[in-house]
Amino acid sequence: MNDKLNAIKTEYDSITAELSSPEILSDPKKMATLGKRQSELSEMVGKINELEKINAAMKENAEMINAAEEDPEMKQMAMEENIELAGRKAEIEKEIEMMLLPKDPNDQKNVIVEIRGGAGGDESSLFAASLFRMYCKFAEKNRWSVSVLNSNQTEVGGFKEVVFEINGNQTNPVFAKMKFESGVHRVQRIPETEKQGRIHTSTATVAVLPEAEEVDLVINDNDLRIDTFCSSGPGGQSVNTTKSAIRITHIPTGVVVSCQDEKSQLKNKDKALKVLRSRLLQTQEEKIAKELGDARKSQIGTGDRSEKIRTYNYPQDRITDHRIKQSWSNIEGILAGDLDSIITAIQEEDTRLKMSDATTA
């Protein structure tokens, strides 16, 4: 541990010195890279410095306690202070351990979210709409922006599919909070159309993709087949007479993306390419992880769409996350965007598992 901490301080001092040199002013790109790295290290260096001060103070107190000439009152004060310092030292050491855990390179990215109705017919499409509103409200509370990329509404007001992007900022990134929402969400409730009051179980799938930039993944135009068609509304009826809707097929993988929400064919194409790029990047990252034998044992779930992650039980006013086996009440509040308690609990468990994995490695 000490070797790691000393290496971090050495790197930080080296970067600080380099940023102060006149030569770096002529290389804005390198200056930006070094500045970003310095910012990443600054909080940890602050914790390391605090830890070193505590160790020095505890050593000084220990010498005072062991000194025969010191009076009993001074020794007592030194012992009491060391008890307090030991508690703070344990806290800082835990914080530093967490900072040393491998970072998810996608945590700072914006996301593309895909929600699709699953089993349950009209009720599943209504549940998909409820999840969409929940994430929109959660985004609003975090001061993120939401933009719909594609949607396919049903006659009852639900969604067969809705695809949207959420954009955040560096101080409050989106993927770090949203990445654990991927999977099957199950709802148990009495549909409005159910006259006999029977509880129905329906599902909707959620996929959260880190948004891929063009620099992350280059797509060959020759690998794309682009079709145009008239956009449609509930029931399949055409809602315009111009072929503004876009369907893009990535021929090598067979991945198909459609976008029809914009009246402009060009805007629909740009949005469809954005979704396609993110899907292909996720597939590529999953393939690499599998080849490396990464079973992601130190993370909550797999992000697989087939994994049932959460149940929303209306009659019992209970939401249960099956990955961490924890439940919450107040379904209406959570569906209104109060997701923080659930997401925080999942993040804490994910960190605990990673720390445990790092200790046993």
For residues 48 and 71, state if they share a domain. Answer: yes
pLDDT of 351: 87
Task: Considering only residues 218 and 113, tell me which one the structure prediction assigns the higher pLDDT.
Answer: 113
Domain limits at 319?
Answer: 111-352
Residue 223 lies inside a defined structural domain of this protein: yes
The pLDDT tens digits of the residues spanning 28-48 come to 888 988 988 898 899 899 999
For residues 142 and 84, state if they share a domain. Answer: no
pLDDT of 305: 56
Judged against a pLDDT cut of 60, whether residue 354 lies above it is answered with yes
Residue 94 lies inside a defined structural domain of this protein: yes
The pLDDT tens digits of the residues spanning 112-167 come to 999 999 988 899 999 999 999 999 999 999 999 999 988 889 988 999 999 999 99
What's the mean per-residue pLDDT of the chain? 86
Judged against a pLDDT cut of 50, whether residue 296 lies above it is answered with no
For residues 25 and 134, state if they share a domain. Answer: no
For residues 237 and 311, state if they share a domain. Answer: yes
Judged against a pLDDT cut of 70, whether residue 241 lies above it is answered with no
For residues 95 and 124, state if they share a domain. Answer: no
For residues 63 and 36, state if they share a domain. Answer: yes
The pLDDT tens digits of the residues spanning 52-103 come to 999 999 999 999 888 867 788 889 999 999 999 999 999 999 889 888 887 8
How many distinct structural domains can be found in the chain?
A: 2
22 CB contacts (<8 Å, ≥6 apart)?
A: none
Q: Give the domain CATH number at 145.
A: 3.30.70.1660
In terms of average pLDDT, the best of 11-20, 208-217, 234-243, 323-332 is 323-332
